Structure 1
Protein backbone atom coordinates (compact mmCIF):
# COMPACT_ATOMS: atom_id res chain seq x y z
CA UNK A 1 0.00 0.00 0.00
CA UNK A 2 1.06 3.63 -0.41
CA UNK A 3 2.86 5.23 2.52
CA UNK A 4 0.03 7.77 2.69
CA UNK A 5 -3.31 7.52 0.93
CA UNK A 6 -4.48 10.32 -1.36
CA UNK A 7 -7.77 12.20 -1.07
CA UNK A 8 -9.06 11.62 -4.61
CA UNK A 9 -9.24 7.78 -4.51
CA UNK A 10 -10.77 7.97 -1.04
CA UNK A 11 -13.42 10.40 -2.25
CA UNK A 12 -14.12 8.26 -5.32
CA UNK A 13 -14.66 5.16 -3.17
CA UNK A 14 -17.80 6.74 -1.65
CA UNK A 15 -19.26 7.73 -5.02
CA UNK A 16 -21.73 5.67 -7.07
CA UNK A 17 -22.10 3.19 -8.58
CA UNK A 18 -19.84 0.54 -7.02
CA UNK A 19 -20.59 1.15 -3.33
CA UNK A 20 -24.31 1.51 -4.08
CA UNK A 21 -24.38 -1.74 -6.03
CA UNK A 22 -22.52 -3.49 -3.20
CA UNK A 23 -25.07 -2.24 -0.67
CA UNK A 24 -27.93 -3.55 -2.81
CA UNK A 25 -26.27 -6.95 -3.15
CA UNK A 26 -25.73 -7.18 0.62
CA UNK A 27 -29.37 -6.26 1.18
CA UNK A 28 -30.45 -9.46 -0.57
CA UNK A 29 -29.35 -11.30 2.59
CA UNK A 30 -31.57 -11.34 5.73
CA UNK A 31 -29.64 -8.58 7.50
CA UNK A 32 -30.61 -6.06 10.17
CA UNK A 33 -27.69 -3.67 9.60
CA UNK A 34 -24.93 -3.02 7.08
CA UNK A 35 -21.67 -1.23 7.95
CA UNK A 36 -19.83 1.13 5.62
CA UNK A 37 -16.37 0.89 7.17
CA UNK A 38 -14.25 3.63 5.61
CA UNK A 39 -13.22 6.34 8.05
CA UNK A 40 -11.07 8.19 5.54
CA UNK A 41 -13.96 9.08 3.21
CA UNK A 42 -15.81 10.63 6.16
CA UNK A 43 -12.77 12.76 6.94
CA UNK A 44 -12.27 13.83 3.32
CA UNK A 45 -15.93 14.43 2.45
CA UNK A 46 -17.30 15.66 5.79
CA UNK A 47 -20.24 15.10 8.11
CA UNK A 48 -22.90 16.40 5.71
CA UNK A 49 -21.74 14.02 2.99
CA UNK A 50 -21.89 11.13 5.47
CA UNK A 51 -25.57 11.85 6.04
CA UNK A 52 -26.22 12.00 2.29
CA UNK A 53 -24.24 8.78 1.74
CA UNK A 54 -26.27 6.97 4.38
CA UNK A 55 -29.51 8.19 2.85
CA UNK A 56 -28.37 7.22 -0.65
CA UNK A 57 -27.25 3.73 0.34
CA UNK A 58 -30.42 3.05 2.33
CA UNK A 59 -32.49 3.65 -0.80
CA UNK A 60 -30.62 0.67 -2.26
CA UNK A 61 -30.81 -1.49 0.88
CA UNK A 62 -34.61 -1.13 0.98
CA UNK A 63 -34.59 0.26 4.51
CA UNK A 64 -31.87 -1.89 6.09
CA UNK A 65 -29.96 0.72 8.15
CA UNK A 66 -26.42 1.56 7.10
CA UNK A 67 -23.85 2.33 9.80
CA UNK A 68 -21.15 4.86 8.89
CA UNK A 69 -18.10 4.38 11.13
CA UNK A 70 -17.32 8.04 11.87
CA UNK A 71 -20.98 8.86 12.44
CA UNK A 72 -21.17 5.89 14.84
CA UNK A 73 -18.21 7.38 16.71
CA UNK A 74 -20.13 10.64 17.08
CA UNK A 75 -23.12 8.78 18.55
CA UNK A 76 -20.84 6.86 20.92
CA UNK A 77 -19.08 10.01 22.14
CA UNK A 78 -22.41 11.66 22.85
CA UNK A 79 -23.62 8.60 24.74
CA UNK A 80 -20.44 8.74 26.82
CA UNK A 81 -20.89 12.51 27.42
CA UNK A 82 -17.33 13.03 26.18
CA UNK A 83 -16.64 16.43 24.64
CA UNK A 84 -12.81 16.62 24.78
CA UNK A 85 -11.42 14.18 22.23
CA UNK A 86 -7.98 12.82 21.39
CA UNK A 87 -7.99 11.73 17.77
CA UNK A 88 -5.47 9.11 16.62
CA UNK A 89 -5.14 8.40 12.90
CA UNK A 90 -3.36 5.50 11.18
CA UNK A 91 0.17 6.23 9.98
CA UNK A 92 -1.02 5.98 6.36
CA UNK A 93 -3.32 9.00 6.84
CA UNK A 94 -1.57 12.16 5.67
CA UNK A 95 -1.24 15.11 8.03
CA UNK A 96 -3.93 16.89 6.00
CA UNK A 97 -6.32 13.92 6.16
CA UNK A 98 -5.79 13.82 9.91
CA UNK A 99 -6.63 17.54 10.10
CA UNK A 100 -9.76 16.82 8.06
CA UNK A 101 -10.66 14.27 10.73
CA UNK A 102 -10.21 16.88 13.44
CA UNK A 103 -12.48 19.26 11.52
CA UNK A 104 -15.07 16.48 11.14
CA UNK A 105 -15.39 16.06 14.91
CA UNK A 106 -15.13 19.78 15.58
CA UNK A 107 -18.08 20.31 13.22
CA UNK A 108 -20.00 17.85 15.40
CA UNK A 109 -19.35 19.97 18.50
CA UNK A 110 -16.32 18.21 20.00
CA UNK A 111 -13.17 19.85 21.31
CA UNK A 112 -10.27 18.00 19.67
CA UNK A 113 -7.47 18.40 22.22
CA UNK A 114 -5.03 16.21 20.27
CA UNK A 115 -4.84 14.86 16.75
CA UNK A 116 -2.16 13.28 14.61
CA UNK A 117 -1.20 10.14 12.70
CA UNK A 118 0.36 7.51 14.96
CA UNK A 119 4.13 7.39 14.69
CA UNK A 120 4.18 3.72 13.65
CA UNK A 121 5.08 1.82 10.44
CA UNK A 122 2.80 2.68 7.52
CA UNK A 123 1.97 -0.98 6.99
CA UNK A 124 -1.22 -2.58 8.27
CA UNK A 125 0.45 -5.94 8.92
CA UNK A 126 3.34 -4.33 10.80
CA UNK A 127 1.20 -2.68 13.49
CA UNK A 128 1.87 -4.37 16.84
CA UNK A 129 -0.55 -3.91 19.77
CA UNK A 130 2.22 -3.03 22.22
CA UNK A 131 3.58 -0.28 19.99
CA UNK A 132 0.14 1.23 19.44
CA UNK A 133 -0.58 1.05 23.18
CA UNK A 134 2.61 2.97 24.01
CA UNK A 135 2.02 5.59 21.34
CA UNK A 136 -1.53 6.34 22.44
CA UNK A 137 -0.61 6.23 26.12
CA UNK A 138 2.16 8.78 25.70
CA UNK A 139 0.27 11.11 23.34
CA UNK A 140 -3.07 11.42 25.15
CA UNK A 141 -3.38 14.74 27.04
CA UNK A 142 -4.66 14.59 30.60
CA UNK A 143 -7.60 16.83 29.63
CA UNK A 144 -8.91 14.18 27.21
CA UNK A 145 -12.31 12.64 27.99
CA UNK A 146 -12.19 9.97 25.25
CA UNK A 147 -9.85 8.63 22.58
CA UNK A 148 -10.96 7.78 19.06
CA UNK A 149 -8.62 5.63 16.96
CA UNK A 150 -9.77 6.14 13.39
CA UNK A 151 -9.12 3.99 10.33
CA UNK A 152 -10.91 0.70 9.73
CA UNK A 153 -7.70 -0.97 8.60
CA UNK A 154 -5.92 0.03 11.81
CA UNK A 155 -5.33 -3.05 14.03
CA UNK A 156 -6.42 -1.36 17.24
CA UNK A 157 -9.16 -3.30 19.04
CA UNK A 158 -6.67 -5.43 20.98
CA UNK A 159 -5.42 -2.41 22.94
CA UNK A 160 -8.79 -0.94 23.94
CA UNK A 161 -9.14 -2.47 27.40
CA UNK A 162 -5.49 -1.94 28.35
CA UNK A 163 -5.68 1.72 27.32
CA UNK A 164 -8.96 2.27 29.17
CA UNK A 165 -7.46 0.71 32.29
CA UNK A 166 -4.37 2.92 32.28
CA UNK A 167 -5.92 6.16 30.97
CA UNK A 168 -9.16 5.89 32.92
CA UNK A 169 -11.27 7.12 29.98
CA UNK A 170 -13.24 5.47 27.16
CA UNK A 171 -11.26 4.36 24.12
CA UNK A 172 -13.10 4.00 20.82
CA UNK A 173 -12.00 2.54 17.49
CA UNK A 174 -13.63 2.81 14.08
CA UNK A 175 -14.51 -0.89 13.87
CA UNK A 176 -15.55 -1.13 17.53
CA UNK A 177 -18.14 1.69 17.34
CA UNK A 178 -19.43 0.34 14.02
CA UNK A 179 -19.93 -3.09 15.60
CA UNK A 180 -21.56 -1.50 18.69
CA UNK A 181 -24.09 0.43 16.63
CA UNK A 182 -24.77 -2.49 14.29
CA UNK A 183 -25.48 -4.77 17.27
CA UNK A 184 -27.93 -2.24 18.69
CA UNK A 185 -29.69 -1.89 15.34
CA UNK A 186 -29.92 -5.67 15.00
CA UNK A 187 -31.59 -5.97 18.40
CA UNK A 188 -28.90 -8.36 19.59
CA UNK A 189 -28.72 -8.99 23.34
CA UNK A 190 -25.24 -10.51 23.24
CA UNK A 191 -22.84 -9.39 25.98
CA UNK A 192 -19.51 -7.96 24.82
CA UNK A 193 -16.71 -7.72 27.38
CA UNK A 194 -13.12 -6.44 27.29
CA UNK A 195 -13.62 -4.42 24.11
CA UNK A 196 -14.45 -1.05 25.60
CA UNK A 197 -16.78 0.76 27.97
CA UNK A 198 -19.06 1.69 25.09
CA UNK A 199 -20.58 -1.81 25.11
CA UNK A 200 -22.02 -1.03 28.55
CA UNK A 201 -24.12 1.78 27.07
CA UNK A 202 -27.24 2.07 25.00
CA UNK A 203 -28.20 5.45 23.51
CA UNK A 204 -31.51 7.04 24.58
CA UNK A 205 -32.21 7.77 20.89
CA UNK A 206 -33.42 5.94 17.82
CA UNK A 207 -30.22 4.90 16.05
CA UNK A 208 -32.16 4.02 12.93
CA UNK A 209 -32.77 7.74 12.46
CA UNK A 210 -29.05 8.50 12.56
Structure 2
Protein backbone atom coordinates (compact mmCIF):
# COMPACT_ATOMS: atom_id res chain seq x y z
CA UNK A 1 0.00 0.00 0.00
CA UNK A 2 1.42 3.38 -0.96
CA UNK A 3 1.68 5.94 1.79
CA UNK A 4 0.86 9.56 1.15
CA UNK A 5 4.32 11.17 1.03
CA UNK A 6 3.12 14.09 3.14
CA UNK A 7 2.10 11.72 5.94
CA UNK A 8 5.51 10.05 5.97
CA UNK A 9 7.12 13.26 7.18
CA UNK A 10 7.94 13.85 10.84
CA UNK A 11 4.70 15.55 11.80
CA UNK A 12 3.93 16.58 15.36
CA UNK A 13 0.29 16.46 16.40
CA UNK A 14 -0.95 18.34 19.47
CA UNK A 15 -3.12 16.61 22.11
CA UNK A 16 -6.75 17.03 21.11
CA UNK A 17 -8.56 15.68 24.17
CA UNK A 18 -9.37 12.29 22.68
CA UNK A 19 -10.28 9.79 25.39
CA UNK A 20 -8.31 6.86 24.07
CA UNK A 21 -7.44 5.71 27.62
CA UNK A 22 -10.78 6.41 29.27
CA UNK A 23 -14.02 8.18 28.43
CA UNK A 24 -15.90 9.25 31.55
CA UNK A 25 -19.61 9.99 31.38
CA UNK A 26 -20.66 12.49 34.03
CA UNK A 27 -24.18 13.25 35.26
CA UNK A 28 -23.92 16.73 36.75
CA UNK A 29 -26.10 19.54 38.00
CA UNK A 30 -27.21 22.04 35.34
CA UNK A 31 -26.33 25.08 37.47
CA UNK A 32 -22.89 23.75 38.46
CA UNK A 33 -19.57 24.60 36.83
CA UNK A 34 -16.75 23.26 39.01
CA UNK A 35 -16.61 19.48 38.68
CA UNK A 36 -16.15 19.03 34.95
CA UNK A 37 -13.58 21.84 34.90
CA UNK A 38 -11.58 20.29 37.75
CA UNK A 39 -11.77 16.85 36.16
CA UNK A 40 -10.33 18.29 32.96
CA UNK A 41 -7.53 19.89 34.99
CA UNK A 42 -6.63 16.54 36.60
CA UNK A 43 -6.89 14.47 33.42
CA UNK A 44 -3.77 12.99 31.89
CA UNK A 45 -3.59 12.85 28.11
CA UNK A 46 -6.02 10.25 26.81
CA UNK A 47 -8.77 10.82 29.40
CA UNK A 48 -11.92 12.75 28.48
CA UNK A 49 -15.11 13.70 30.34
CA UNK A 50 -18.53 13.89 28.66
CA UNK A 51 -21.30 15.57 30.64
CA UNK A 52 -25.08 15.47 30.69
CA UNK A 53 -26.87 17.76 33.14
CA UNK A 54 -29.91 17.61 35.40
CA UNK A 55 -31.63 20.45 37.23
CA UNK A 56 -31.05 21.09 40.96
CA UNK A 57 -33.72 23.47 42.34
CA UNK A 58 -31.85 24.30 45.58
CA UNK A 59 -29.07 22.85 47.74
CA UNK A 60 -31.45 21.76 50.48
CA UNK A 61 -32.85 18.36 51.39
CA UNK A 62 -36.08 19.20 49.57
CA UNK A 63 -34.30 20.52 46.47
CA UNK A 64 -31.99 17.51 46.24
CA UNK A 65 -34.88 15.09 46.65
CA UNK A 66 -36.79 16.84 43.86
CA UNK A 67 -33.80 16.43 41.54
CA UNK A 68 -33.35 12.76 42.36
CA UNK A 69 -37.04 11.96 41.86
CA UNK A 70 -37.30 13.72 38.50
CA UNK A 71 -37.33 11.63 35.29
CA UNK A 72 -34.35 13.61 33.96
CA UNK A 73 -31.96 11.46 36.03
CA UNK A 74 -32.79 8.32 34.08
CA UNK A 75 -32.82 10.27 30.83
CA UNK A 76 -29.33 11.61 31.55
CA UNK A 77 -27.95 8.14 32.22
CA UNK A 78 -29.49 6.72 29.07
CA UNK A 79 -28.25 9.64 26.96
CA UNK A 80 -24.68 9.15 28.19
CA UNK A 81 -24.90 5.40 27.71
CA UNK A 82 -25.63 5.96 24.04
CA UNK A 83 -22.09 7.31 23.65
CA UNK A 84 -19.01 5.03 23.72
CA UNK A 85 -18.12 5.83 27.34
CA UNK A 86 -16.21 3.46 29.64
CA UNK A 87 -17.54 4.58 33.02
CA UNK A 88 -20.55 6.56 34.20
CA UNK A 89 -20.25 8.77 37.30
CA UNK A 90 -23.11 10.43 39.13
CA UNK A 91 -21.48 13.70 40.17
CA UNK A 92 -23.57 14.69 43.16
CA UNK A 93 -22.16 14.02 46.62
CA UNK A 94 -25.04 15.18 48.79
CA UNK A 95 -27.57 13.69 46.37
CA UNK A 96 -26.00 10.24 46.66
CA UNK A 97 -25.41 10.26 50.45
CA UNK A 98 -28.63 12.09 51.41
CA UNK A 99 -30.48 8.96 52.53
CA UNK A 100 -27.49 6.86 53.52
CA UNK A 101 -25.39 4.07 52.13
CA UNK A 102 -28.27 1.82 51.06
CA UNK A 103 -29.68 4.67 48.97
CA UNK A 104 -26.34 5.18 47.24
CA UNK A 105 -26.14 1.46 46.48
CA UNK A 106 -29.68 1.59 45.11
CA UNK A 107 -28.75 4.51 42.86
CA UNK A 108 -25.85 2.52 41.44
CA UNK A 109 -28.15 -0.46 40.82
CA UNK A 110 -30.60 1.77 38.89
CA UNK A 111 -27.78 3.31 36.86
CA UNK A 112 -26.59 -0.16 35.89
CA UNK A 113 -30.01 -0.91 34.40
CA UNK A 114 -30.05 2.44 32.57
CA UNK A 115 -26.47 2.05 31.29
CA UNK A 116 -25.86 -1.70 30.91
CA UNK A 117 -22.32 -2.88 30.39
CA UNK A 118 -20.76 0.38 31.60
CA UNK A 119 -18.85 0.68 34.87
CA UNK A 120 -20.73 2.83 37.39
CA UNK A 121 -19.76 5.02 40.33
CA UNK A 122 -21.11 7.93 42.34
CA UNK A 123 -19.38 10.72 44.19
CA UNK A 124 -20.27 9.05 47.51
CA UNK A 125 -19.06 5.58 46.50
CA UNK A 126 -15.86 7.13 45.13
CA UNK A 127 -15.35 9.02 48.39
CA UNK A 128 -15.51 5.83 50.47
CA UNK A 129 -13.11 4.10 48.07
CA UNK A 130 -10.73 7.07 48.30
CA UNK A 131 -10.80 7.16 52.11
CA UNK A 132 -10.06 3.43 52.16
CA UNK A 133 -7.20 3.88 49.67
CA UNK A 134 -5.49 6.47 51.90
CA UNK A 135 -6.08 4.29 55.02
CA UNK A 136 -8.31 6.88 56.65
CA UNK A 137 -9.95 6.26 59.99
CA UNK A 138 -11.42 9.26 61.84
CA UNK A 139 -11.79 12.29 59.57
CA UNK A 140 -12.37 16.02 59.63
CA UNK A 141 -15.11 17.30 57.32
CA UNK A 142 -15.36 20.59 55.42
CA UNK A 143 -18.48 21.41 53.40
CA UNK A 144 -20.32 24.44 52.03
CA UNK A 145 -23.72 22.90 52.88
CA UNK A 146 -26.64 24.09 54.99
CA UNK A 147 -26.77 22.49 58.43
CA UNK A 148 -29.25 19.71 57.55
CA UNK A 149 -27.28 18.51 54.52
CA UNK A 150 -24.00 18.82 56.46
CA UNK A 151 -25.49 16.58 59.16
CA UNK A 152 -26.38 13.99 56.52
CA UNK A 153 -22.74 14.03 55.36
CA UNK A 154 -21.58 13.32 58.91
CA UNK A 155 -24.09 10.49 59.24
CA UNK A 156 -22.96 8.94 55.95
CA UNK A 157 -19.29 9.01 56.89
CA UNK A 158 -19.90 7.64 60.38
CA UNK A 159 -22.17 4.80 59.22
CA UNK A 160 -19.25 3.77 57.01
CA UNK A 161 -16.72 3.69 59.85
CA UNK A 162 -15.25 7.19 59.64
CA UNK A 163 -15.85 9.06 62.87
CA UNK A 164 -16.07 12.81 62.18
CA UNK A 165 -13.90 14.39 64.87
CA UNK A 166 -14.20 17.95 63.56
CA UNK A 167 -16.39 19.67 60.99
CA UNK A 168 -17.27 23.07 59.57
CA UNK A 169 -19.82 24.18 56.96
CA UNK A 170 -20.56 27.44 55.16
CA UNK A 171 -24.40 27.15 55.10
CA UNK A 172 -24.77 27.97 51.38
CA UNK A 173 -28.13 26.98 49.87
CA UNK A 174 -27.85 28.06 46.22
CA UNK A 175 -25.83 26.06 43.74
CA UNK A 176 -24.20 28.92 41.87
CA UNK A 177 -23.04 30.48 45.15
CA UNK A 178 -21.15 27.27 45.95
CA UNK A 179 -18.90 27.76 42.94
CA UNK A 180 -18.18 31.37 43.85
CA UNK A 181 -16.27 30.51 47.03
CA UNK A 182 -12.61 31.42 46.27
CA UNK A 183 -10.01 28.68 46.48
CA UNK A 184 -8.20 30.72 49.15
CA UNK A 185 -11.30 30.53 51.36
CA UNK A 186 -11.57 26.78 50.80
CA UNK A 187 -7.92 26.47 51.85
CA UNK A 188 -8.56 28.45 55.05
CA UNK A 189 -11.67 26.40 55.83
CA UNK A 190 -9.80 23.13 55.56
CA UNK A 191 -6.89 24.40 57.65
CA UNK A 192 -9.38 25.49 60.31
CA UNK A 193 -11.21 22.15 60.39
CA UNK A 194 -8.08 20.04 60.89
CA UNK A 195 -7.89 18.08 64.14
CA UNK A 196 -5.11 16.09 65.77
CA UNK A 197 -7.28 12.96 65.78
CA UNK A 198 -8.23 13.25 62.11
CA UNK A 199 -6.33 10.80 59.92
CA UNK A 200 -7.60 12.53 56.77
CA UNK A 201 -9.73 15.49 55.74
CA UNK A 202 -12.70 15.20 53.42
CA UNK A 203 -14.01 18.16 51.38
CA UNK A 204 -17.56 17.44 50.24
CA UNK A 205 -19.57 18.96 47.36
CA UNK A 206 -18.96 18.75 43.62
CA UNK A 207 -19.61 22.43 42.93
CA UNK A 208 -17.09 23.60 45.53
CA UNK A 209 -13.56 24.32 44.35
CA UNK A 210 -10.97 22.05 45.93
CA UNK A 211 -8.47 20.24 43.75
CA UNK A 212 -6.17 23.21 43.16
CA UNK A 213 -5.54 23.43 46.92
CA UNK A 214 -5.14 19.76 47.80
CA UNK A 215 -1.39 19.49 47.28
CA UNK A 216 -0.77 22.66 49.31
CA UNK A 217 -3.07 21.43 52.08
CA UNK A 218 -1.38 18.04 52.32
CA UNK A 219 2.00 19.76 52.53
CA UNK A 220 0.78 22.07 55.29
CA UNK A 221 -1.16 19.47 57.30
CA UNK A 222 0.90 16.33 56.76
CA UNK A 223 -2.10 14.09 56.10
CA UNK A 224 -4.26 13.01 53.15
CA UNK A 225 -6.86 15.44 51.87
CA UNK A 226 -9.67 13.96 49.79
CA UNK A 227 -12.29 15.97 47.94
CA UNK A 228 -15.47 14.66 46.35
CA UNK A 229 -14.39 15.81 42.90
CA UNK A 230 -10.86 14.44 43.22
CA UNK A 231 -12.20 11.11 44.50
CA UNK A 232 -14.81 10.88 41.72
CA UNK A 233 -12.22 11.46 39.02
CA UNK A 234 -9.68 9.10 40.60
CA UNK A 235 -12.28 6.35 41.00
CA UNK A 236 -13.73 6.79 37.51
CA UNK A 237 -10.27 6.62 35.94
CA UNK A 238 -9.09 3.76 38.09
CA UNK A 239 -12.04 1.57 37.19
CA UNK A 240 -10.92 1.49 33.54
CA UNK A 241 -7.28 2.50 33.13
CA UNK A 242 -3.94 3.23 34.79
CA UNK A 243 -2.13 6.54 34.62
CA UNK A 244 -5.26 8.57 33.97
CA UNK A 245 -4.55 11.20 36.63
CA UNK A 246 -1.95 13.95 36.49
CA UNK A 247 0.37 14.30 39.51
CA UNK A 248 0.04 17.35 41.72
CA UNK A 249 -3.51 16.78 42.95
CA UNK A 250 -2.90 14.90 46.17
CA UNK A 251 -1.53 11.61 47.46
CA UNK A 252 -4.74 9.80 46.47
CA UNK A 253 -3.84 10.03 42.79
CA UNK A 254 -1.01 7.52 43.13
CA UNK A 255 -3.20 4.93 44.92
CA UNK A 256 -4.82 1.98 43.14
CA UNK A 257 -8.59 1.80 43.21
CA UNK A 258 -9.93 -0.47 45.96
CA UNK A 259 -13.41 -1.94 46.36
CA UNK A 260 -15.70 -0.80 49.17
TM, length-normalised to structure 1: 0.89
Whole-angstrom distance in 2 between the partners of 1:121 and 1:52: 26
Equivalent in 57, 63, 78 of residue 9 of structure 1: 63
Equivalent in 126, 144, 152 of residue 180 of structure 2: 126
Residue 201 of structure 2 corresponds to: 147
Residue 159 of structure 2 corresponds to: 107
Residue 77 of structure 2 corresponds to: 23
Instruction: Give the aligned length.
Output: 203
The verdict on how the C-alpha distance between 1:51 and 1:125 changes in structure 2, with shifts beyond 3 A counting, is closer
The verdict on how the C-alpha distance between 1:57 and 1:16 changes in structure 2, with shifts beyond 3 A counting, is farther
**How far did 1:40 drift?**
1.4
- C-alpha contact 2:167 2:193 (8 A) present in aligned 1: no
Whole-angstrom distance in 1 between the partners of 2:101 and 2:129: 13
- C-alpha contact 1:84 1:146 (8 A) present in aligned 2: yes
Deviating beyond 3 angstroms after TM superposition, the runs of 4 or more aligned structure 1 residues are 118-122
Q: SS of the counterpart of 1:142? A: coil
TM, length-normalised to structure 2: 0.72
Describe how 1:1-210 pairs up with structure 2 within 5 A: 5-15=59-69, 17-90=71-144, 93-118=145-170, 123-205=177-259
Q: SS of the counterpart of 1:130? A: helix
Structure 1 unaligned blocks of 5 or more: none
Say what the alpha-carbon RMSD is for the aligned residues.
Answer: 2.2
Q: SS of the counterpart of 2:69? A: coil
More helix by percentage: 1
Whole-angstrom distance in 2 between the partners of 1:8 and 1:204: 33
